[in-house]
Amino acid sequence: MLTQPTLEKLRALKLSGMAEAFCEQLQKPMPDLDFEARLGLLIDREWYLRENRRLNRRLAQAKLKAQACIEDIDFKHTRNLNKTVVQELARGQWIQQHLNLLITGPTGCGKTYIACALAHKTCLIGMSARYYRLPRLWHELKIAKANGSYANWLAQLAKIDVLILDDWGLATPDDDQRRDLLEILDDRYQRKSTIITSQLPITHWHEHLNDATLADAILDRLIHNSIRLELDGDSLRKKQKSLQTDEV
């Protein structure tokens, strides 16, 4: 029989999904299926295997802070979060339109979780995402400048479909950081989407940037083509702590 040579050739061609499905068909014959149907099953197995690998690769590259998904978002907690709006965002049309998403609200209201859930959905629908806390971003940029990889680093960042910049507004950026931010947002303007999370109301962002000229340029590329989620309410961490106390 030609079974073993066929399996070896499939694996040599890196068609491991087809090889696995072929073995299963040998172990469990399918007399009711014709050749075309059986071949279709082999191809489907290979396709799904490759899709799962690509998804896992996108999720690994995203480096999301929270293991979040849209289905697990708590809409019962009072925080001015509209379920219909989030479900519409989950469809991803805003990403295709290259819009930005600005999520503001007090600490603990779930800004980062929502951002990561939407980034997770981005990966599920076949696009790329990347999470950064701004302090870590500044640090990586500083290293990139020192080792000569700054231009390449910016080019890679510009290709990401959805970029999360978390904790905007915690510390006033210096001049280099403001210019870096402008470079990043200028590369992405009307090409890719950026999610910003911040405790600071949007009306205070210009003052926070502490440079009128650069602030105008940065916010012009960020705000005017954006969707806003302005959250409020008590911290979800307080709720979780209360539940743990009640269980004790």
Predicted pLDDT of residue 243: 37
Instruction: List, in order, residues 6 or more apart from 211 with CB less than 8 Å away.
Output: 175, 178
Long-range (24+ apart) CB contacts under 8 A made by 30-35 are none
Length of the chain: 248
Residues 172, 200 contacting (CB under 8 angstroms): no
H or E stretch at 34: none
The string over 188-200, giving b where at least 16 C-beta atoms fall within 10 Å of a residue's C-beta and e elsewhere, is: bbeebbbbbbbbe
CA distance 203 to 65: 27
pLDDT tens sequence across 116-151: 999 999 999 999 999 999 989 999 999 999 999 999
Residues 231, 111 contacting (CB under 8 angstroms): yes
Predicted pLDDT of residue 20: 81
Give the chain's domains with CATH numbers: 3-61 (no CATH), 63-241 (3.40.50.300)
User: Residue 13, by phi and psi: left (phi above 0), alpha (psi -120 to 50) or beta?
Assistant: alpha
Percent of the chain with pLDDT over 70: 93
pLDDT tens sequence across 164-218: 999 999 888 999 999 999 999 999 999 999 999 999 999 999 999 999 999 999 9
pLDDT tens sequence across 31-86: 787 878 877 888 888 787 888 888 899 999 999 988 899 999 988 877 889 999 99
Question: What predicted TM-score, i.e. pTM, was given to this entire model?
Answer: 0.82
In 3-state terms, the chain is what percent helix, strand and coil (to 5)?
Answer: 60, 10, 30
Predicted pLDDT of residue 99: 97
Task: Give the number of other Cβ atoms within 10 Å of residue 245's Cβ.
Answer: 8
Rg (CA), the chain: 23
Predicted pLDDT of residue 45: 82
